Amino acid sequence: MTANSAAKREWTPADIPSLTGHNIIITGANSGIGYQAALVLAAKGAQVTLACRDKLKGNAALQAIRQSVPDARLVLGHLDLGSLSSVKRFADSVLSQGLPLHCLINNAGVMTPPRRLETAEGFELQFGTNVLGHFALTALLMPALQNAISANTVDAPRIVTLASIAHKRGRINFDNLQSEHGYSPMAAYAQSKLADLMFALELNRRLRAAGTDILSVAAHPGVASTNLFKTGDYHGIERAVRNAMGPLIGLALNTDAAGALPTLYAATADAVEGGGYYGPQGLLEVRGKHVGKAQIADQALDVTVAKHLWQVCEDLTGVPFPVGDQTN
């Protein structure tokens, strides 16, 4: 995809050109950053699939976007990343259409449930949803991304995976990957976001070694006042505090619309490079109108750990990735 980009100036959705003819999938597009990204991309003419776990919320989001963009080309897809069978059904539905996929945005996420929860397959909810669900989805949709190359589209297809500044606090603990031996909500979240970033970087290395034009990039929103902050399996008092703090967070930090800018940049901007990681350029990368390269923690650059994590993800999901390790 193309967009005008200039250094040291504010990048806005106005820099995104027409996306007519582009097919884009966004996971978790019913609210927050995913919704805001879907709204902008639909306004630019792309066909956008809102891949949502909750059908009612997904349909409400679709109708809201159509109110703002009457001619929006939208598709609602049911996708529960916490169920590998749901991931496969969704991917099969996409592939059965035979359409090229120009951009996959791995946006959906679970953040810090106060008690340990599990996916349908028994994985810790954050690791199972944020990491394994998106790993399997991306692997299964690779034929559609390859199809975009075969269709001779001008722009290289992109896979955008949402990480977080929380990755800097993360460690991949292979001995307790599912938090079975002691559960810390934030430690589990940070590990999942570190794993997401490592997945994006490792995928790019494999794509480059395979000689394909598909780009794998990552982005983070800073700290945005989204539903991840305000909703979840919290006790009544904590839920009330989070809801009360929401407006204050919105004033001090990013709105969900501003938080979507790095995602939109990663998905469309000319300056984006495979293996790039993009986020707001304000203080501590928490917020800011400028989007640029984000800081990557040293542990995210450990190629040995990334390869091991990749193999673990293949083993746990039972989904062999069509881009193998050709980097040795």
User: So which residues are the catalytic ones?
Assistant: 189
Tell me how crowded residue 210 is: count the other CB atoms within 10 A of its CB: 14
Whether 261 and 147 have beta carbons less than 8 Å apart is answered as no
Specify the length of the chain in residues.
328
**Any bridge partners for residue 49, and if so which?**
25, 75
- Rounded-to-integer distance, Cα 113 and Cα 97, Å: 36
- Radius of gyration, CA atoms only, the chain: 18
Show me where the domains of the chain are located: 13-222+260-317
Residue ranges in the chain modelled with pLDDT below 50: 2-7, 228-242, 244-245
List the end-to-end C-alpha distance of the chain, in Å, as a whole number: 31
CB-facing half-sphere around the CA of 310: CA atoms within 13 A: 25
- Rounded-to-integer distance, Cα 104 and Cα 285, Å: 24
Whether 268 and 278 have beta carbons less than 8 Å apart is answered as no
Specify whether domain 13-222+260-317 bears CATH 2.40.160.40.
no
Token pair of 289, please? 């109108």
Token pair of 211, please? 């000689």
pLDDT computed for residue 239 by the predictor: 46
pLDDT computed for residue 7 by the predictor: 43
